[in-house]
Amino acid sequence: MMPSTSFKPAATVEATVSSKGQVTLPRELRKRLGVQRGSRIRFSIPVNGAVQVEPVLYDFEDLWRMADQGGTSKGVMTFEEMDEAKARRKW
């Protein structure tokens, strides 16, 4: 929820929450964030103020750390996921 200030957003979009708590990101927001199927999104929730949304972009240190974990841990990425992460990386 936005605090009551003189904040004026450049654009607004709305989405509906499903019974499972899921939200489909509107096309405008997906385009602005540069996300696509399989992309990860981070929500930063401050104590006060607006929630921030940003795409998760892995750097090479993150990729190597995840690859070094081995096994079937949820944090381990496949080579395809690593390639996709590298492709999303903003240099």
Compute the 3-state secondary structure of the chain and give helix, strand, coil in percent, each to the nearest 5.
30, 10, 60
Which residue range forms the structural domain that includes residue 68? Answer: 57-91
Look at residue 26 in the predicted model and tell me its pLDDT. Answer: 92
> Residue 58: how many CA atoms within 13 Å on its side-chain side?
20
CA distance 35 to 66: 21
Residue 84: alpha-carbon gap to chain centroid: 14
The overall average pLDDT reported for the chain is 76
pLDDT tens figures, 51-71:
888 888 766 666 666 665 554
1 falls within a domain:
no
> Residue 34: how many CA atoms within 13 Å on its side-chain side?
10
CATH code where residue 26 lies: 2.10.260
- pTM, entire model: 0.52
9 falls within a domain:
no
pLDDT tens figures, 2-41:
555 556 667 888 999 999 999 999 999 999 888 888 888 8
